[in-house]
Amino acid sequence: MDIVDLDRDTIREGLADGSILLIDVREPHEFAMGHIPDSILMPLSTFDPADIPDAGGKRIVISCAAGMRSRHALMMAQAAGLPLAEHYAGGFKDWVMAGEEIARGD
């Protein structure tokens, strides 16, 4: 299965309309310093595709700092047989550089 790169506009719209469940695979200290609002933390260091929550019909999209760890998490999920393919190619760095709102804490 291929990996699909999503852009910031797609992420923003999907979070706004509730169609995307965004999973952040950065580490807890990175997430606490700032993350995309409504994203959930599943650090790559302890990432287990079996722990991905039921998205309730939403599209599951993986995000990290700049698109590398999210690709790795997607490959792990695909190897486990999950039909996941989408990630935020620019990641949190792209989000911040564009001046988008961020959340802090866990």
User: Which is nearest to 11 in space by CA: 87, 102, 105?
Assistant: 87
User: What amino acid positions are annotated as catalytic residues?
Assistant: 64
Distance CA 23, CA 21 (A): 6
Q: What is the number of helices (H) and of strands (E) in the chain? A: 4, 5
The domain segmentation of the chain, as residue ranges, is 4-97
CA separation, residue 94 to residues 9, 12, 19, 63, 77 (Å)? 11, 12, 21, 11, 24
CATH top class, domain 4-97: alpha beta
Per-residue pLDDT of the chain (106 residues; tens, 9 = 90+): 799 999 999 999 999 999 999 999 999 999 999 999 999 999 999 999 999 999 999 999 999 999 999 999 999 999 999 999 999 999 999 999 999 999 998 7
Q: Are 7 and 89 in contact (CB under 8 A)?
A: yes
